[in-house]
Structure formats: C-alpha cells, structure tokens
Amino acid sequence: EYIRSSYFNKKEDTRFSSSVGKFVGFTEQGVKFAAAWNKDASLLSAIKAQKEVYCLNNIQNWYNNMLTKS
C-alpha cells in the first residue's frame, strides 16, 4: 500500500492511500485540499502510479534487508 500524507502544525491534514484511491482530508483546510486534488484526474493517476514506481520496484530490497536484520 502506498500512503502519502501532508501535515501542518504536527497534525495530519490530508492523506492519499492507494487502497482508497483518493485523497482524504482530516482538517477543515485538508478537506478543501482533498476535494480539489480529487477533481484532478491527472494528479490522481500520477499519484496512483507512484505505487508501481516506488513500492513495487523496491519491495524485494526492503524485504531482504529486514530479514537480514532480525
């Protein structure tokens, strides 16, 4: 799962979760940002692509490193 969070004043403002597939706001300002970002189809597709680019290409490396450290 790919999660991308934004914080302001140590409080989570917004979060994108690949399992949900959209941004969710947790503060009044975060709800506004999430609504605007969810309307942008190109932004959503770019963020969804980050799961394949970042997570799926590196998961085997992370998994192997964790096994050698435990």
| pLDDT (tens place) for every residue of the chain, 70 residues total | 889 999 999 999 999 998 899 999 999 999 999 999 999 999 999 998 888 887 777 777 777 777 776 5
Would you state the pLDDT for residue 25? 96
Instruction: Compute the distance between CA of residue 65 and CA of residue 70 in angstroms, rounded to an integer.
Output: 9
Q: What is the CATH number of domain 3-67?
A: 3.10.320.10
Would you state the pLDDT for residue 69? 62
Q: Phi and psi for 5 in degrees, rounded to 5?
A: -115, 150
Q: What SS3 state is found at 32?
A: helix
Instruction: Compute the distance between CA of residue 18 and CA of residue 32 in angstroms, rounded to an integer.
Output: 20
In the chain, the N- to C-terminal Cα span, in Å, equals 23
Q: What is the pTM of this model?
A: 0.75
Ordered by start, the domain boundaries in the chain are 3-67
